[in-house]
Amino acid sequence: PLTEEAEIHLPENVIEGSARTSVSVLGDILGRALKNLDGLLQMPYGCTQQLTAAIMEKATNFLTSGYQRQLNYKSADGAYTTFGTGPGNTWLTAFVVRSFAKAQSFIFIDPRKIEESKTWLQHKQQENGCFEKSGKLFHNGMKGGVSDEVTLSAYVTAAFLEMNTSQHDPVMNKSLACLKESLSDLSNTYTTALLAYVFTLAGDVETRAHLLQHLDTVAVREGGFLYWSQTAAETSASLSVEISSYVLLAKLSASPTAEDLGYASGIIRWLTGQQNYYGGFSSTQDTVVALQALALYSTLVFSAEGWSTVTVQAPSSQLTFDVNQGNKLLYQEEALQDVSGKYSLEVKGTCVSQISATYNIPTPADVTTLSVRVHLEVNTSESARPKFTVYSGKEETTNMVILDIKMLSGFSPDPESLKSLKRGLLVSRVEQKEDHVLVYLEELSKDTPINHSLEIIQELPVDNLKPAVVKIYDYYQPGPSLTNVLCCFTLNLFKRKKLKI
C-alpha cells in the first residue's frame, strides 16, 4: 500500500459558507476527461481497450461536428485562419492538420484537405529550412530566448513527424537542420521542451539526449512532483503544463524504459494535480498537449487486470473506495465533513485519487497587468462615454484578450451597437452567448488604453436589480491566479430603459 498525506489550509478571506472539500477516485488517468467530453476540444487517442460504446459514440459525434465546423475556417489555398478571414496562419494550419490526421482513425477526413494544408505549409518553408510566420501569433508564450521562427518551425516539424512524415523527407531534412542551428541557445524552456519532442520523433538519439539532459537541470522538483516553468520569474501554470507535457511526450515517445516511466511518474503526479473539474486545463492549447501526453502514458501503463482500494482518513471521518475493471472509468466523488485540516490516503493498487477544496473569495480589488473601467450613461441623447481597457505588464503586447460583458437581468445588447462593436479597434470577433457578450481583442499594447462602447436595452423590468460584471482576461491564461488579471467592476443602477456602457 502507498500512503500519502496532505494538509489543506483555506485563505483568511474565504466567504463564509462557501468552502467545500471532497475526495475523488478514478481507475484511469483519463477518466475525468472521458466523463466530461462535452467540455473538451479533442478526444484523446488513449486506450481503446477501455472505450465503451457510449464513449465512442459521443466522441465520434464531437469529432464529426468539429471537423465540419473547422472547414469553415479553411482558405482555398489550404491554409486555416483564426476567424475565417485574413491571411493563412502557419501555426493554426499545422495545429489543424495534425488534429485531422489523428482523427482519421475515428471518422472520415477528406485526405485532400490534409494534403492541401501540408502543401501550403511546405510552401512556407524558407531557404534556411525554417518556416515562415504567417498570420497573427496570439500566444506570447511561444516567444522568448530564441526567435519565434525556431519555435514555430519546431511546432510545424512536430506536426509533420506526427503524421509519419519520414525524417529523411527533403522538407523534414531542411527543417531539422535549421532547428539544429538553434541548439546553442536553450534559454527558452518552452522551445527546448518542444525541440526535445521533435528530435525524439525524428529518431535523433544524440540531440534528444542533449536536450533532455539540459531540461533535467532546469526542472522544478517539489517532493514527488516534477515540472518546468518558462523562467524562474515566470510561473504561469498554463505554460508550465504545456512545457511539462512536451517533456513527458519526449520521454515516452521512444520505447521508454522502466527508468523513463519512473521519471514520468513525477510529471504525471504534477500534471494531474493541475487538471480542472472537467479533466481539462487552463486553456485550449495546454489541454490538447497535456491530454495527448496523459493518453500516451495511459497506454503504456494500462493493465486489463487488477483492482484497487482507496481509504481516506479525514480529521473526523473515514471513507473507502473500491476500483475494479467494471467501474474503472467511473468517476467516484464524496464530500468530506471537514473543509480543512490533515488528510491521509492509503492506496492498494493503481488509481488516481485527489482531495480538492473549492471556495469563494471576494473579487480582487488590485489591478496588476490588465484592467477594465466601465462608465454608464442613461441619457441616450448624449454620445456614449466609453469603457476602456489597459495593459501594464512587462511584455510590449499581450496575447489575445477576451472582454467578457455580462448583461444585467432583463437587458440585452442593441443589435446595431453590436455591429459597431465588431468594427472596433483591435476587435477580431464578437460573440453573444446566453447573457454574455464576448469581445476578442487581438492584443493590447503596453500602457495604451483602448476604448469601446456598447448599448444595452432593457427588455423586461426586473425588481431588485443586481450588479453585473465586466471582466477582461488573457485567452491563453484565463485564470486570475495565472495572469494576475483582471479587475472586475460592477454595473450599479436602478430601473432604466436604455443605457450605454
Phi and psi (nearest 5°) for 241?
Answer: -60, -45
Q: Specify whether 344 is located in the same domain as 289.
A: no
CA distance readout (Å), 275 to 27, 286, 453, 501: 16, 10, 36, 36
Across the beta sheet with 2-8, the strand order is: 2-8, 341-348, 308-314, 317-323
Q: How far apart are CA 26 and CA 333, in angstroms?
A: 9
Whether 399 and 347 map to the same domain: the answer is no
| Shared domain check, 59 and 19 | no
Is residue 476 within 8 Å of 399, Cβ to Cβ? Answer: yes
The residue segments making up the domain with residue 388 are 370-500
Specify the pLDDT at position 47.
35
Task: Report how far residue 191's alpha carbon sits from residue 181's, in angstroms, rounded to the nearest whole number.
Answer: 13
Domain count for the chain: 3
Which three cell numbers mark 397? Answer: 503586447
Give the pLDDT of residue 405.
86
Three-state SS at 101: helix
Residue 113: per-residue pLDDT: 95
How much is the pLDDT for 110? Answer: 95
Q: What is the pLDDT of residue 38?
A: 58
Beta-ladder partners of 470: 405, 489
What is the CATH classification number for the domain harbouring 19? Answer: 2.60.120.1540
Cell of 173: 531534412
pLDDT at 406: 85
Predicted pLDDT of residue 245:
96
Grid cell, residue 259, equals 527508468
Shared-domain flag, residues 24 and 3: yes
Do 23 and 38 belong to one domain?
A: no
Cell numbers found for residue 411:
437587458
User: Domain boundary at 362, 378, 400, which?
Assistant: 362
Q: Based on the domain organization, do 488 and 400 belong to the same domain?
A: yes
Say yes or no: 394 and 493 in one domain: yes
- DSSP conformation letters of 236-261: -HHHHHHHHHHHHHHHHSS---HHHH
| One domain, residues 57 and 204 | yes
Output the pTM of the full model. Answer: 0.73
Q: Running along the chain, 501 residues long, what does each successive block of 10 average in pLDDT?
A: 78 86 77 60 37 72 87 93 86 93 92 96 96 77 57 95 95 97 92 97 97 97 90 73 95 93 92 79 82 88 76 88 79 84 84 80 63 61 46 71 85 88 88 88 82 83 79 68 31 43 58
| Alpha-carbon gap, residue 245 to 247, rounded angstroms | 5
Phi, psi for 252 (deg, rounded to 5):
-105, -5
Residue-level pLDDT at 71: 93
Domain end marker among 301, 325, 352: 301
- What does the pLDDT read at residue 364? 60
**463, 317: one domain:** no
Same domain, 491 and 477: yes
Whether 283 and 313 map to the same domain: the answer is no
Among residues 284, 263, 281, which one has the least CA distance to residue 272?
A: 281
